[in-house]
Chains A and B, each alone.
Chain A
Amino acid sequence: ETGVTQTPRHLVMGMTNKKSLKCEQHLGHNAMYWYKQSAKKPLELMFVYSLEERVENNSVPSRFSPECPNSSHLFLHLHTLQPEDSALYLCASSQDRGQGWYEQYFGPGTRLTVT
Chain B
Amino acid sequence: GENVEQHPSTLSVQEGDSAVIKCTYSDSASNYFPWYKQELGKGPQLIIDIRSNVGEKKDQRIAVTLNKTAKHFSLHITETQPEDSAVYFCAASIRSGGGADGLTFGKGTHLIIQP
The answer to whether A and B belong to the same complex is: yes
Q: Determine which of A6, A55, A90, A104 lies in contact with B99 in the assembled complex, contact meaning CB atoms within 8 Å.
A: A55
Q: Are A50 and B100 interface neighbours, CB within 8 A?
A: yes
B56-115 contacts to A, CB under 8 A, are 89, 91, 93, 95, 98-108
Q: Interface size class for chain A?
A: 20 to 34
Q: Mark A91-112, 1 if CB is under 8 A from B, else 0.
A: 0101010101101111111000
A31-B100, A50-B100 known; A103 vs B46 contact (CB < 8 Å):
yes
Q: Are A105 and B46 interface neighbours, CB within 8 A?
A: yes
Q: Are A101 and B51 interface neighbours, CB within 8 A?
A: yes
A90-B44, A103-B49, A104-B34 known; A96 vs B104 contact (CB < 8 Å):
no
Q: Determine which of B100, B102, B106, B108 lies in contact with A58 in the assembled complex, contact meaning CB atoms within 8 Å.
A: B102
A43-B105, A48-B101, A56-B102 known; A103 vs B34 contact (CB < 8 Å):
yes
A41-B107, A42-B107, A108-B41 known; A33 vs B102 contact (CB < 8 Å):
yes
- Which residue of chain B lies nearest to A29 when distances are taken between CB atoms in the complex? B100
- Residues from chain B with a CB closer than 8 A to the CB of A96 are 99-100
Listed in ascending order, the chain A residues whose CB lies under 8 Å from chain B are 2, 4, 6, 30-31, 33, 35, 40-45, 48-51, 55-56, 58, 90, 92, 94, 96, 98, 100-101, 103-109
23 A-B residue pairs with Cβ-Cβ distance under 8 Å, sorted by A, are A30-B100, A31-B99, A35-B102, A41-B107, A42-B108, A43-B44, A43-B105, A44-B105, A48-B99, A50-B100, A55-B100, A56-B101, A90-B43, A90-B44, A92-B43, A96-B99, A98-B98, A100-B51, A101-B95, A104-B46, A106-B36, A106-B45, A108-B42
